[in-house]
Structure 1
Amino acid sequence: MLRSGFRRFVPARGRGWASRLLDAALWLALWLPPASEAALSSYGRAKVVAFAAAPLLAVAVAVGRRWPLAALGVPVALGLALSAKLFTPLYWPALAVFGFLAGCRMAAARPVLWFLGSVAVAGLPLCVVAERDLWAWPGLLLTLLGAAGLPWLLGRYRRQHAELARLGWRLADRMEREQRVVAERTRYRERARIAGDMHDSLGHELTLIAVRAAALEVDATLTPDQQRAAGELRAAAGTATARLREIIGVLRADDEVADDPVAAPPGESAETLVERARASGLDITLERRGETAGLPPMAALAVHRVLQEGLTNAAKHAPGAAVRVRLVRTGKPPAVTLTVLNSPPAAAPLPGVVSGGSGLVGLDERVRLAGGVLRAGPAPDGGFELIAELPATAAPPPRAAGDVSRLTASGRELTRARRRVRRQLTQAVVAPVAALAGILLLMLPVSLASSYFSVLDRGAYDRLTVGTPREEVTPRLPLFTRDGPPDGAPAPPRGQDCVHYSTSLMSADAYRLCFVRDRLVSKSVVEHGP
């Protein structure tokens, strides 16, 4: 993401060096905390892990653009190598950065969720075996959620926001093209109106010329040659009028509505349309229920146009897909429902076929004027469904014109993008809260198990001898240690590694065993303070 923003200010020839410099700066920033701690600490494991972190973080930065999930696994492995409960702030910046970058660079969420879930599940036996502390597991879950989960959700939201911005620019470009198309259509309609005006005016004048010529043709004061010339003039005016009507008829707008409703073409029934489309290679199944004859003219024409448009769209945008047509008439209330459903396309759409949804918008207007409702959109199985519900009796008043953006490709794309953004925003808010609630619920059984398996028997405690090596003491101890010393307990002696075990299940007191160089040097009973 930083690289894409930086590219605008870097010449094309220097982008490679700029990218390498950004990667080097990121690696140095992520490795600096563990390197500083290793230089100041005398703890051997921290030094080893810090030296191993240098090449591993470099590899993570290098492969992060192509394999962001592998890059996220590097700081997780380094943190677990240092502490089974991941409570190592040295690698939290790397966790946050690679988690955020994984959210920005990965479109699918499932791989990251599987990865984080696997780390969380594997952390339980790791805490039991390595730390012998069951309370280390909730700490691991909280660290994983805060250091990696939340940055990943933030990165996903950032990615979705960027996609929505790009979609907005695409839609703006498409709207601009559609506006140009609308402007061209308006100009053509105006030309058609002008042509109509020419037809009316010129036709009137030609008609007057023909009438005058007819009057001269029968005028007895004229010679036969003059009468014959007048007849030829009358015939020429009539021919010019007819030709003018034909030419102007071609120039008229296709979508001009006549005063009377136009019925469907004679012989063009649903079966005829289906058979003609089937002969062209479409796999069509027609299912008819009830008698659909005798529909109002507007409803019959709407059924014809919806079926025609549905079959045309299936042939253009879903070649090779099976098409199912259902024409059903119901009695209460009298209505007819036409459904055109195509399965997912078996091949890519035809080359050069672009649809802005104007055909569906026109169908919606036609169905609305007939008193019906048109619905169109993706089917549950991945295909496309077109449904028209029309009255089978006298048409009621047309419903008010509604929002037709659901019928256009840009409108459907914008609706899907808005849904994705809302879903991502919901996940960004609900997922951390749900994960935190789950961790809090897990603490109850963890507390019970830790309390039960951290009780040291009094007899076993009495048999422990100061000076015994740790490997001989460990088999006599409970499976888990107590979750910290009792409240008010004195601090452990300096330089000693002390662990605490409960004296009984319900007691707040504890046994404290202190080791130096893996040898038991002291044991005592620590009572709960006031």
Structure 2
Amino acid sequence: MTTTGAEHQRTAGGPWWWERRRGAVLDIGLGLVSAVECAAEGVAFADKARLPIAVGVVFGLLVGSVLVLRRRWPIAVVLVSIGVTPASMGFLLTVVGLYTLAASDVPRRITGALAGMSLAGTMIVTFIRSQQDMAQGNIELGEWFVPFVAVTASLGVTAPPLLLGLYVGARRRLMESLRERADSLERELQLLAERAEERAEWARNEERTRIARDMHDVVAHRVSLMVVHAAALQAVARKDPEKAVKNAALVGDMGRQALTELREMLGVLRTTETTAAAPATAPGSEPVTAAPVPLAAVGVAAAAAASRAEADDGPCLDDLEELVGQSRSAGMAVDLSVDGVPGSYPAQVEQTAYRVIQEGLTNVHKHASGAKTHVRLAHRGGEVAMQVENEPPPEGGSDDARLPSGGNGLVGMKERVSALGGAFVSGPTDGGGFRVSAVIPARG
């Protein structure tokens, strides 16, 4: 964090009203010099006013020491300097007081009024003194000399400290404004970084959920079919060797398909990680040292890249015949019906519809082995609807496969459908079976 003015004041720890100790030392030193000057000028003032010299010295000391208060009460210092102008006293007091007043945050109309009073007072006193010197014969010049000296002396005493104070004050206010703006920008950047980290964490969690859901879809369906075929292989191995060979080939095909889909998902993760870690360089060009990539950006990029890769390479509704055929080859009686004219759907819509039907068939393999199943797909223009409904399983059919269940299949289907703005319903039917239904907008 940058150091603001308020923080700097707290760390400096100056006495009384001073922000810094060196400021206090400077003001006290100027006060001492001004007090000595006014005390010396007080001797001449006492002589002309026919007062005791001690009175003039004490008066000068008091007037000059007022300069110590210039940072606290700059208006009072200037007023005192104006008040002692007729006594020809307080040159340093006037100059430093006007500078401090112009550099402070006092309204400009007050500064202008006090500067004008100081200018007028100095001009009048100088004019009167010059006339007195010419009348006494101390100066023998033309009549033009008196007003020239009065104007020059008054401007020389008033204008330079006033202009310098205005410049210093404007510069100080500009620096404070820039410092505050820098602090504000730094706070905003820190807030943006925190929000980016939150979004990255959300994206990572979403990506973990998506990967877990896809892994569940792949493993649950393929492995369920493999277990069903393995059970059938065990049952017919001795009685029908040809059918056993066929079932063994199907098990091998299922395993290879599962491995292929798993490799595709893992390959997406490796590709995303490599892309985020090593920026590409053009052939023949010098290697460029890339700026460090925040974890937030990497997390969001990984999620986006993985989602795009899945959208490009995932299954679609055209693969339903193959999906249903795999279940039929495992011994399930599956009836597939498609209504309506297929439209041009986004990849995510087709993948979600495919995964819902796939998970519905997997649940039938797990919990209602041997039950007749009806798969319905309807294209309704603005939406696509799907339903997987199985009849009650035959006696003893539900225990043939003995497949474990993690209870995440229905949750994953609902998450997929809800993410695209669709509706998902699942539950038992009146006839003792189970139904899974979903409707997804055509635009996702």
TM-score normalised according to structure 2 size: 0.32
Whichever of the two has the greater Rg, that structure is 2
TM-score normalised according to structure 1 size: 0.27
More helix by share: 2
